[in-house]
Amino acid sequence: MTDARMRALRDRVGGLAYGGDYNPEQWDRSVWREDVRLMREAGVNLVSLGVFAWASLEPEPGTYEFGWLDEVMDLLHENGIAVNLATPTAAPPAWLIHRHPEVLPVMADGERFGFGNRLHYDPSSPIYREHAANITRRLAERYSFHPALAMWHISNEYGPTAYNEAASAGFRRWLRRRYGDLETLNEAWTTRFWGQVYTGWDQVEVPSVPRTWMNPSRILDFKRFTSDALLECFVAERDIVRSFRDDIPIVTNFMRFYRNADYWRWAPEEDAAALDIYPDPAEPDSHVASAFQFDLFRSLKGGRPWLLMEQATSAVSQWRLNVVKEPGRMRLGSLQAVSRGADSVMFFQWRAGRGGHERFHSAMLPHSGPESRTFREVANLGREVGLLAPVAGTTTRAEVAVLFDWNGWWGLEELWGLPRNDFSYVETVMRHYRPLWEHHYAVDVVSTRSDLSPYKVLVVPNAYLVDDEGVAAVTEFARSGGTVVMSFFSGVVDECNRVRPDGYPGAFRRLIGAKIDEYWPARPGERFTVEFADGRTATADWWREDIHLETGTALATYADGLLKGRAAVVANRFGTGRVVYFATLLEQDAFDRVLIGELRAAGVGNRFDGLPTHLECTVREDEGHEYLFLLNHDAEAAVAVPLGSPGTDLLTGLPASGEVSVPPLGAAVVRRARPA
């Protein structure tokens, strides 16, 4: 059904969706007609409407004002613009908060949020849930069959973590479902330690106001619970709108590298993964992290197209320094998303707001109006997005997968008491992803529950916490012929955050063919020399392991220090597969060399080998065609790319053969017959 719903959306917008958040409730009626006229000029075919409009839709409890929304929906429809209608539940109105202050989330330090921002709700609050369900139902009753409606956008960027009474009650219910009885909970949380044993369920609370250290299993479960509590809010609203109508997609917008919601659990509940992404234009290579996010979002629903729901046309307003996107960068970033599987290019927001916190946030229609650089770029991109219609619905194939797992992330970063407590999971993952990006490999992102059979290589960055099913999946992947590239401090604890028995790395000792006697985090400034079998040396720092080979062999050993002669990188045959384990933090070049060498040895195909790093090359495909995206991130020099077989550049409509020249910050999208 999901695929049929997304197909319906594609048909509705005629290919890729183009548009943004539209907030007519912040503007006088007189502006609406101009908005719609300019939207048409810019090629907009979809707008997200009403995202924070609860106070305008239900100005007093039980009093509804839908007249303005009726008018806007009609106007958009008359102009051929479809609506992604939002439930407004990310912004509970002042009257609700005034009547029921307990809706406001209490933070970990015990302080309660005040009114004045958004996302000011405790997801476990029954009052919040009741009122959210009510406004959702009213909207669905009124608009489910409005001809403008093309998609539902449930709430916005689910995220608050709350430590309220209601959260404690919800947490207890969640724990009862998970563990059944207190004895099992006590066991799972190792509560004999520091005498934290619970003898009644009413003693179990959310982990608020800790005096420094806190039970790490309890925190881990609280993270899981919070993600699930938010998900329950989404599902409740989704089910309401779905009960009225079953044939249009329902989504919510996720965030970039967002730690508080396990998107692997969320994605199956919605029709498409939808991403809001704001790469910082001040960071010269922020597009590499974007590429990872785009791959993740495509992978969240098993390779299906995803939706780029929000991005900025130029500067944002949420950071201390908000620099502009230079000419061409907005286009390039948008095409980058499409090249990695997005079926939409959407922005926050259509028209720049005059007041409020985001008054300096860029928009498709900036304060300077249609005679502006931004609007010209927006209109041009709208035209090009139209030309890319054939790409909609197509997919990508990859032979390399990178494990990205929220439980592992929480394990590494939420808790104190590890051998070192400054892990950055995102940085670690990016260290592993960057060389794959630089060498133009197509990459999928996987969870421990994904089907690993399409891949030749599985990259496992610092997977500290992996549950038994995850361990079995990784192990089986290697046993049946895959190559696992794994980095240190992996497979250490079980799903309850308890150290696995029989020596480190309990879960993966046989897999890596070595036992680790002790983890040796480096002292500040400490560096080591590592020597490879071919005599090359490299430096390493940050982490070492006192590793003792069992079935594994050393790919590299320490050339100095107390661990001199001991393995720093291990290779092991396992079943019919191979495992390479990094027991230290190698300098990036050396790490890249080993990783890319393993990909080559595993026979991973790479059609773009040798092309410059700053030329991003990806392929989307359908049954008959492939769509070759060539994106030049360099602002100075053009790149000439030998094409092989000829095709048509969708952006120019011209035949492409021989060699294409991709200008600085430019792009080509070549459509051609798919190779046999």
Query: Can you give the binding site for ligand GAL, defined by CB under 6 A?
Result: 156-157, 276, 278, 310, 312, 316, 318, 348, 358, 361
Closest by CA position to 414, among listed 161, 104, 114, 106: 161
Select which of 25, 237, 270, 310 is catalytic: 310
- CB burial of residue 259 (10 Å; 0-12, 13-18, 19+): middle
Return the number of other C-beta atoms located less than 10 Å from residue 335's C-beta. Answer: 25
Task: Please report how close the Cβ of residue 358 comes to ligand GAL at its closest, in angstroms.
Answer: 6
Q: Catalytic: 237?
A: no
Task: State the Cα–Cα distance between residues 102 and 667, nearest whole angstrom.
Answer: 52
Nearer to ligand GAL, 105 or 470 (CB): 105
Residue 157 a catalytic site member: yes
Residue 278 CB, nearest distance to ligand GAL (Å)? 5
Return the number of the residue (274 or 412) whose C-beta is nearest ligand GAL. 274
Shortest separation between residue 310's beta carbon and ligand GAL, angstroms: 6
Which of 273/611 has CB closer to ligand GAL? 273
Whole-number minimum distance, CB 361 to ligand GAL, in Å?
5
Spatial distance between the Cα atoms of 372 and 374, rounded to a whole number of angstroms: 5
Nearer to ligand GAL, 165 or 358 (CB): 358
- The CB-nearest residue to ligand GAL is 348
How far apart are CB 312 and ligand GAL at their closest, in Å?
6
62-70 own/partner pairs: CB under 8 Å, 24+ apart: 64/138, 66/138, 66/142, 68/24, 68/25, 68/29, 69/143, 70/142
Query: Catalytic residue among 25, 157, 384, 626, which?
Result: 157
Nearer to ligand GAL, 316 or 571 (CB): 316
DSSP label at 148?
A: T
Torsion of CA 652, 654, 657, 660, to 10 degrees: -30
Question: Residues 389, 379: contact at Cβ < 8 Å?
Answer: no
Q: Please say which residue, 174 or 306, places its beta carbon nearer to ligand GAL.
A: 306
Which position has the token pair 């960071």? 283
Q: Name the one residue in this structure whose structure tokens are 């070192």.
A: 420
Which positions ≥6 away from 172 have C-beta within 8 Å?
201, 202, 204
Nearer to ligand GAL, 278 or 441 (CB): 278
The tokens for 334 are 């948008």
- Two tokens, residue 55: 């106070």
Least Å distance between CB 518 and ligand GAL?
43
- From the CB of 573, what's the least distance to ligand GAL, in Å? 47
- Locate tokens 């602002």: which residue? 635
Distance (Å, rounded) from C-alpha 411 to C-alpha 464?
7
The CA-CA-CA angle for residues 529, 534, 540, to 5°, reads 20
Structure tokens of 524?
């500040």
> In the complex, what is the shortest distance from the CB of residue 319 to ligand GAL, in angstroms, rounded to a whole number?
10
Nearer to ligand GAL, 312 or 342 (CB): 312
**Burial level of 142, CB count in 10 A (0-12/13-18/19+)?**
middle
The residues annotated as belonging to the active site are 157, 310
